[in-house]
Chains A and B, each alone.
Chain A
Amino acid sequence: MSAANKINIHHPFMDGVIIQSLANGVVEALKIMVNIEASFEKPFVGTNWKSPTDFSVYLNLNSDFYRGRIQFHFTEMVAKTIVEKLIGSEVIEKSEILDGVGEISNIFYGGAKTKLNSLGLNLAMSLPKPCLTKDLPKAIAETTCMLIPFKVLGEICYVEIILN
């Protein structure tokens, strides 16, 4: 990992517009698709951070300027509620929850990507990969990440950005 790509307060991913784009992608998707309100908390830089959640989804970030990963982390209650509201019936199997958080994360990312690309980031399309948080594969550079916590249904979930 080069020093130039390390996330710090001067890094472009700490730009307020970019953080706001990611936050808006999440808030709008949850409101429109499942009528759930979400609110964002203050973003922070994490070092050797481990998500305290149950379900995660990772997408590769590939652009002309940046390579890395964006990850969405959900508690089990939040993940289950979102999926049940999407399909209109109870979910029991973890595989159903994983599939559902994969899709909703794809929508989160799609909304943010459109905005970010309009700002010149040129992010490529990426297929979301859902997994249990404990099984999340290590990113190449995992020492420093940017975290944007969001509160939904009274619990804290996270958007995490890791750059190589």
Chain B
Amino acid sequence: MFTPNTRFLVVDDFNTMRKAIKKIFGEMGYTNIIEAADGQAAFETLQYQHAKGEAIDVIISDWNMPRMLGIDLLKLCKKTPEFKSLPFVLLTAESEQVQIIDAVKSGVSEYVIKPFSPQMLKEKLEKVYRKHNAATKVA
């Protein structure tokens, strides 16, 4: 799995969901978690962290948020050279096929449908790690 000092960016407009994810990640041994309340704030955080030499390693983002949707954050990251290879997990209550296809075409690493249990999130994160690890080895 990811190393304990992996830096996660958790993006959700609801503080409760950010806390819930932090709790689950904490149980997995990950405590290096930075939060943002929407896609726009998340992109600014990505740039800020990159500039100060403490780059984000993995993005976990909600889909439905004000100012900038999670899917638009994903597309923006994929267009930005510094962030295009970052593992990106979309968490969403939206599970319609058209949205899943959009996310997959846009390069999402994994798609987690709410409601999810802590175990489901852990399993998705393990899949993301395996994919990312394989991609890094190929590169």
Q: Is B95 an interface residue (CB 8 A)?
A: yes
Known: A28-B115, A103-B14, A111-B115. A86 touches B93 (CB 8 A): no
Q: Which residue of A lies closest to B120 (CB)?
A: A32
A109 touches B93 (CB 8 A): yes
A106 touches B16 (CB 8 A): no
Contact of A29 among B12, B15, B20, B115 (CB under 8 A): B115
Q: Chain B contacts of A142 at CB under 8 A?
A: none
Q: Which residue of B lies closest to A109 (CB)?
A: B93
Give the complex CA separation of A99 and B13 in angstroms: 9
B114 touches A29 (CB 8 A): yes
Known: A103-B14, A103-B16. A33 touches B117 (CB 8 A): yes
B16 touches A100 (CB 8 A): yes
Instruction: Give the size range of B's interface with the partner.
Output: 20 to 34
Q: Chain B contacts of A113 at CB under 8 A?
A: 93-94, 96
A110 touches B94 (CB 8 A): yes
B64 touches A32 (CB 8 A): no
Q: Is A149 an interface residue (CB 8 A)?
A: no
Interface residues of A in 90-120 (CB under 8 A from B): 96, 99-100, 102-104, 106-107, 109-111, 113-114, 117-118
Contact with B along A30-73 (1 / 0, CB 8 A): 01110000000000000000000000000000000000000000
Interface residues of B in 4-33 (CB under 8 A from A): 12-17, 19-20, 23
Interface residues of B in 64-97 (CB under 8 A from A): 64, 66, 92-96
B23 touches A99 (CB 8 A): no
Give the complex CA separation of A33 and B14 in angstroms: 15
Q: Is B48 an interface residue (CB 8 A)?
A: no
Q: Chain A contacts of B17 at CB under 8 A?
A: 86, 103
A106 touches B20 (CB 8 A): no
Q: Which residue of A lies closest to B17 (CB)?
A: A103
Q: Which residue of B lies closest to A31 (CB)?
A: B115
A107 touches B15 (CB 8 A): no
B16 touches A110 (CB 8 A): no
Q: Is A16 an interface residue (CB 8 A)?
A: no
Q: Is A4 an interface residue (CB 8 A)?
A: no
A117 touches B23 (CB 8 A): no
Q: Which residue of A lies closest to B16 (CB)?
A: A100
Q: What are 25 pairs between A and B in contact, CB < 8 Å?
A: A29-B114, A29-B115, A32-B115, A32-B116, A33-B114, A83-B16, A86-B19, A87-B23, A88-B20, A89-B19, A96-B15, A96-B16, A103-B17, A106-B14, A106-B93, A107-B114, A109-B93, A110-B92, A110-B93, A113-B93, A114-B95, A117-B96, A125-B94, A127-B64, A127-B66
